[in-house]
Amino acid sequence: MSKIRFYNARILTMEEPVQISGATELWVDGKEICYIGDGKAEMLSFDREIDCRGNLLMPGFKDAHTHSAMVLFRSMADDEPLQSWLNNLIFPIEGQMTDEEVYELTKLSVLEYLTSGVTAVFEMYLTPKSIQDAFNECGMRNVQVSGINNFGPALSVMEERFQTLNGRNELSSYMLGFHAEYTCSKELLQQIAEMAKKYKAPIFAHNSETKQEVEECISRYGMTPTQLMDSLGMFEYGGGGYHCVYMDEKDIQIFKERGLSVVTNPASNLKLASGIAPISKFLQNDINIAIGTDGAGSNNCLDMFREMFLVTGLAKYHDMDASSVDAAKVLKMATVGGAKAMGLTKCETLSVGSYADLIMLDLHQPNMQPINNIVKNIVYSGSKQNVKLTMIHGKILYEDGKFNIGCDVDALYDKCNQIASKYNKGRI
C-alpha cells in the first residue's frame, strides 16, 4: 500500500460549511487519509509526492443509481416512452445477455465513471457476481442492489447473493431490493419485506418514476407505491427509492419519518419525458438526496457534472424560482448524500481516517476561471474535462487521461463493440 502526498492543493472536504478549507496538503497512507493540513506536521516517507499546482481535491462523486452494463444500449435504444422502451427494446435483449457480456460492459462503464470523477456506484443489474468481479478487478467501489421481480431471480437466489456477495472485500457490498412495484406481485413484495425484517436490512427500488406507474398502483391497491411499500413494512430498517418523481405529501412524509433516501436521476427522467422530481420539497423536509445517472440506455452518458446541473436547473424551472436548490446543496447530494444512501460512512467527506476516495479537479481550464466561487463553478460550469485524477481506496485509477485498472483499454473497446454488434443488427 502506497503513501502519497498531495501538496499545493485547494481542498474541499465537504464537511459543513461547504467551502474551501485552509489546508493545502492531504496525505494518504494505504487506503485511508492520514493527514489534512498545512504540511507542517512530521513528514512521512512518501512513495509519491504530487504537486497539485492549486488544483482542487474533493471527495469523489457517488453515482447513486446506475445499471452499468446498459452501456450496451447507448444510442441503440432511444426516443421511446419508458414502458415501450423497456418492453420492446430493453427487456428482450436483457433476456439474452450472458454473465461474460455483462462483465465486459461493466468494465467499460468503469472507465466512464472514472473520467467523471465517480468513486462509488450504486448498481442494480442482471448478474451480480460477474458485475462485482468486474468492479473488484478494476478497483471501483460498488454497492449492488437486487433487482428481483416477477421474472426472476427466485427469492432464495436473492438471499444467497445477500449472504455471499457481502464481505468479499472492502470495495463491495450487496443490498436487498427489487425492480419496481409494477414488476412485482404483492405476494413477492410481502416476501421481500419479510426478508428485510429478517436481516434488519434497508430496501431500495425504482419508485414513482412515471405518472402511469403511480396511477396504476393506486388502481390496483388504492395507494401509491411508497404507501404500499410502507404498509408492507418494507422500510423498518431504512432504504429509499430511485427517481421519486411523482410523490404526494403523504409519500414525502413517509420518507421523512422513515429516514429514507431519494435518489434523483434528472437526465434519464428528462430524456424519457418522465417528469421533474420535487427536489425543493425533499430538501424542505430534510430528506437525504443522492444523485444517479441511471443506465446509459436512458441517459446516455454517465456524467455527474451534467446531472448536478440538471438537478438545480430543473428544480429552478419546476419551482419557477431562480434561487431554488443552491449549488452547494447539489454538490452535497452528489458526494455526501450518495455515500449516506449507499451506507458508505467512511466515504462521505475528506477527513482523517476516511477512505482515500478523492478526485482532483483541474482549475487551470477556461471553464473554471476566474475563480470567484469554486463550489458554484463545479455545479454550473464544471465538466469531465476538469477531472485530472480519480483515486479509490488509496489507489490512483485515472490520471491525466490514462487508466490504471489492470486491463488493455483498446482491447476492452473491441470486446464491447463485438457484443454490441451481436444485438444491434437492424436497429441502427
| CB distance 128 to 153 below 8 Å | no
CATH annotation of 3-60+348-403: 2.30.40.10
| CB distance 133 to 68 below 8 Å | no
Q: pLDDT band for 83, please (50, 70, 90 cuts).
A: confident
Q: What percent of the chain has pLDDT over 70?
A: 99
Q: pLDDT digit string (tens) for 3-25? A: 999 999 999 999 999 999 999 99
Q: Which three cell numbers stand for residue 68?
A: 452499468
Q: Nearest Cα to 1, choosing from 377, 303, 394, 288?
A: 394
Q: Is the pLDDT reported for residue 428 higher than 60?
A: no
φ, ψ of residue 271 to 5 degrees: the values are -65, -35
**Other beta carbons less than 10 A from residue 43's beta carbon:** 12
Answer whether 3-60+348-403 and 61-346 agree in fold.
no
Using left for φ > 0, alpha for ψ between -120 and 50, and beta otherwise, residue 15 falls in beta
What mean pLDDT, rounded, does the chain reach? 97
Instruction: Taking residues 320-345, report their average pLDDT.
Output: 98
Q: Which three cell numbers stand for residue 99?
A: 454473465
Q: Is the pLDDT reported for residue 425 higher than 80?
A: no
Q: Is the pLDDT reported for residue 224 higher than 70?
A: yes
Overall pTM surpassing 0.95 (yes/no): yes
Q: pLDDT band for 426, please (50, 70, 90 cuts).
A: low
Q: List, as one string, the DSSP characters of 195-231.
A: HHHHHT--EEEEES-SHHHHHHHHHHHSS-HHHHHHH
Q: pLDDT digit string (tens) for 134-150? A: 999 999 999 999 999 99
d(CA 279, CA 360): 28
Q: pLDDT digit string (tens) for 212-222? A: 999 999 999 99
Edge to edge, what strands does the sheet with 48-51 contain?
32-37, 25-29, 3-7, 48-51
Domain at 61-346: CATH architecture: Alpha-Beta Barrel (3.20)
Question: What local confidence, expressed as pLDDT, does residue 363 receive?
Answer: 98
Question: What local confidence, expressed as pLDDT, does residue 86 receive?
Answer: 85
Q: pLDDT digit string (tens) for 144-201? A: 999 999 999 999 999 999 999 999 999 999 999 999 999 999 999 999 999 999 999 9
Taking the CA atoms of residue 2, residue 7, residue 10 and residue 16 in that order, the dihedral angle to the nearest 10 degrees is: 50
Instruction: Taking residues 270-281, report their average pLDDT.
Output: 97
In the chain, domain spans: 3-60+348-403, 61-346
φ, ψ of residue 123 to 5 degrees: the values are -100, 140
Name the pairing type of β-strands 288-291 and 402-403.
Answer: unpaired
User: Measured in Å, how far apart are the chain's first and last C-alpha atoms?
Assistant: 47
| CB distance 1 to 30 below 8 Å | yes
Q: Is the pLDDT reported for residue 427 higher than 80?
A: no
φ, ψ of residue 57 to 5 degrees: the values are -105, 135
Question: What local confidence, expressed as pLDDT, does residue 84 receive?
Answer: 85
Using left for φ > 0, alpha for ψ between -120 and 50, and beta otherwise, residue 280 falls in alpha
Beta-carbon contacts of 413 under 8 Å, excluding residues fewer than 6 positions away, are 108
Q: pLDDT digit string (tens) for 293-315? A: 999 999 999 999 999 999 999 99
d(CA 398, CA 170): 20
φ, ψ of residue 288 to 5 degrees: the values are -65, 130
Name the pairing type of β-strands 25-29 and 3-7.
Answer: antiparallel
**Other beta carbons less than 10 A from residue 378's beta carbon:** 26
Q: pLDDT band for 424, please (50, 70, 90 cuts).
A: confident
d(CA 327, CA 381): 11
Question: What local confidence, expressed as pLDDT, does residue 82 receive?
Answer: 78
Q: Nearest Cα to 67, choosing from 242, 297, 277?
A: 297
Instruction: Taking residues 345-352, report their average pLDDT.
Output: 98
d(CA 162, CA 342): 15
Q: Which three cell numbers stand for residue 335?
A: 458526494
